[in-house]
Structure 1
């Protein structure tokens, strides 16, 4: 009798196990996924004031072409649909609605820019469509409590700003800081983070704050004002077009402030070359990825693979432009997340995989940097290292710094 019960229990356990295994093996799809295709979409500023970022979308499209050529993801080809939003929030809304309602994508990937992402965030969360690896570091895009379907890729702007504040306090404790910032979530987050990092010294150290609009033709008057206020440290929270203008105007005025430039405006090809490499010397920023123009990486396996990819799949692209290494790194992480999804290509599982990354290392990440996310911490890049421009390229200095503070 005891053997009979044992056999019955064993048989039941085996049946349950087989049933669970069968259920696990079943394919699960949401709109945009099939046995043969994973349809995703994005908007890119191929034109407009942030067209310097167009290379991101072009590199991502090339990377996906490479993956598809090699068989796709678990036998499925990725169908990336791209639209130009000209860095215009109303246009981004129109195009993202088209992606979701007409093209019926599984999720949006790397919508580029803080204004565009801000404009579509509420809509995508209401629709429960993942806003995956959004190309922005504004704190609202790493806020699982209020926006559970949004996860940003970029280092959190407030985290980055706190690191700059730490650098300023250690190296320029008596600085008179003039702040230039883009009048949107990007610029405001950098300002909030700076003040938080400076603490009670913010009130005395910051001598002026001036903003600009994306529609402004120039920012000459803002730079003139900051100089007139006696600032000797320029904290520049902008994007490439306006950062280049700022560098030029600073030089025209014969002004010699310590110039701290946010990571979004740090690409040499997009910002420093247009401004002038000679007048960009000694600008300070931060990074979390390998600079393809830095000779220390010439024998690095990740950089070699990136160069080979560019030669074959995007030969017209500038291999040394960090806009393109950014596009490569984000596409690499996208592919990793999709592979982790297996045959469960539901929107819920996409977010589950993106928010449970464990010690993931990108091939172009700086040595020692890893990515970890959780359902309560959506920040993908929390580690950074300071760098200074030497007139030709960026040079890293100091230790890897991890921001363990709040996401916002």
Structure 2
């Protein structure tokens, strides 16, 4: 395990770039006119994104844009949106904020994209929010749960996508109080917006039960001090508000210490397929083998999109697109994320109408008419640019499949109740996106 630990630390250092910069101010005024429509022709609309196709975040995340392109290909082959094909331009930023600025400016100034869609990462995207808003470029469905994307006053062109960390923390906290009550709780969190927002939500329900709070610096991959402190505190439940590599590192380090708490993991780091790969890879780099299934057994996670193993009409559509356009890609929840995000953008594009402008696209997002594919509604309105409003709770089985422990719940970022999500969800048939 000493060899595993040293290689894990090295591997994670290569794999992961931190979310530093998440708390920076990104406000700015809208510069270009709302009636602008660069990138739009009679038969096409050009959009762009920055993604980690290479570099430390590429494993797993590089497949998101592959999945998104598959969805756009499917839509284009079925007539496009309002008679226009979607021309999807993907730039590799290597998960390097400096490179993100460069490629986003290229997309705006050279490619003249109509919108940026699904830009990935808090440290990266936080560096371009001000610029995009000053240029009047729609900045849609950011791939991060930071609350800073929900700032329509300062960033009117920016919209989130996934459930934000505070809402998710509230749902996790209430579940722990209701089902794991009386146990000592330890918090393992990233020292930025992820950790701050998650703790704010958790503390609304389990603050009195928390016996240890351990933040990690993403630049320091040795989490042995944090796990030792959690073990010494007697924490029986550890809530990990961590990205996937640090979730895996936390689990491996706990195993090294002979420490086996009940892990509760946020959606950003709870995908069993991703964790299985990371646990095995880290161990093999150290010349060892681990049973990922044994390490993940009983882990509790949260999610806001239907699991790819579920019997869900959106999953059926996603599988159809996957099998036709990217059949050699594993059909994972990460792939489903890219498919869902692309479909959501296409729905907004359709609502914006044939006489397309950037202002009309923003109006479509704020209309409250965007539905699916998630298990909870979006918060989108003129007063809120937050994404999904809640999540469900699941548990990892001994074979790394999952089962749902609690149905979808919704809440706010304040003192509002955690309550069941609306029972009705729009299906792909209800929206009838393609062929129109």
TM over 0.5: yes
2:289 maps to 1:282: no
Give the equivalent residue in structure 1 for 2:308: 292
Answer yes or no: is the 8 Å Cα contact 1:29–1:344 preserved in 2. Answer: no
Distance 1:211 1:62 in 2: 38
Answer yes or no: is the 8 Å Cα contact 2:272–2:396 preserved in 1. Answer: no
What are the residue-to-residue correspondences of 1:218-297 with 2, within 5 Å?
218-275=222-279, 276-294=292-310, 297=311
Answer yes or no: is the 8 Å Cα contact 1:134–1:152 preserved in 2. Answer: yes
Distance 2:200 2:414 in 1: 13
Which structure shows the higher helix fraction?
1
Give the equivalent residue in structure 2 for 1:16: none
Could you tell me which runs of 5 or more consecutive residues in structure 1 were left unpaired when the two chains were aligned: 1-27
Using the size of structure 1 for normalisation, the TM-score is 0.84
2:342 maps to 1:338: no
Give the equivalent residue in structure 2 for 1:135: 143
Call closer, same or farther: CA 1:307–1:183 in 2, change over 3 Å: same
Call closer, same or farther: CA 1:399–1:59 in 2, change over 3 Å: closer
Answer yes or no: is the 8 Å Cα contact 1:131–1:149 preserved in 2. Answer: yes
What are the residue-to-residue correspondences of 1:364-403 with 2, within 5 Å?
365-366=374-375, 369-371=376-378, 373-391=380-398, 392-403=400-411
Could you tell me which runs of 5 or more consecutive residues in structure 2 were left unpaired when the two chains were aligned: 1-34, 280-291, 417-436
Give the equivalent residue in structure 1 for 2:325: 313
Call closer, same or farther: CA 1:90–1:208 in 2, change over 3 Å: farther
Give the equivalent residue in structure 2 for 1:49: 56
Query: What's the CA shift for 1:49?
Result: 3.0
Answer yes or no: is the 8 Å Cα contact 2:304–2:391 preserved in 1. Answer: yes
What are the residue-to-residue correspondences of 1:5-404 with 2, within 5 Å?
30-51=37-58, 52-195=60-203, 197-198=204-205, 202=207, 204-275=208-279, 276-294=292-310, 297=311, 300-319=312-331, 321-358=332-369, 360-362=371-373, 365-366=374-375, 369-371=376-378, 373-391=380-398, 392-404=400-412
Distance 2:258 2:232 in 1: 12
Deviation by residue 1:262-299 (Cα, 9 ceiling, x = unmatched): 001121221134321221011111122221224xx1xx
Query: What's the CA shift for 1:250?
Result: 1.8
Answer yes or no: is the 8 Å Cα contact 1:358–1:371 preserved in 2. Answer: no
Distance 1:105 1:406 in 2: 36
Distance 1:238 1:343 in 2: 42
Query: What's the CA shift for 1:35?
Result: 1.2
Query: What's the CA shift for 1:406?
Result: 4.0
Deviation by residue 1:305-335 (Cα, 9 ceiling, x = unmatched): 222211111122111x100111111111111
> Quick check: which has more Rg, 1 or 2?
1
Distance 1:50 1:219 in 2: 19
Distance 1:29 1:382 in 2: 31
Answer yes or no: is the 8 Å Cα contact 1:158–1:407 preserved in 2. Answer: no
Distance 2:342 2:388 in 1: 15
Q: Which secondary structure does the structure 2 equivalent of 1:277 belong to?
A: helix
Q: Which secondary structure does the structure 1 equivalent of 2:298 belong to?
A: coil
Query: What's the CA shift for 1:383?
Result: 3.0
Answer yes or no: is the 8 Å Cα contact 2:152–2:384 preserved in 1. Answer: yes
Call closer, same or farther: CA 1:65–1:211 in 2, change over 3 Å: same
Give the equivalent residue in structure 1 for 2:284: none
With 127-136 and 340-349 compared, the bigger mean Cα shift is at 340-349
Distance 1:184 1:49 in 2: 19
Deviation by residue 1:356-406 (Cα, 9 ceiling, x = unmatched): 1336232xx34xx44452111223311322111112212112243110444
Answer yes or no: is the 8 Å Cα contact 2:107–2:113 preserved in 1. Answer: yes
Query: What's the CA shift for 1:42?
Result: 0.6
Cα RMSD between the aligned structures?
A: 2.2
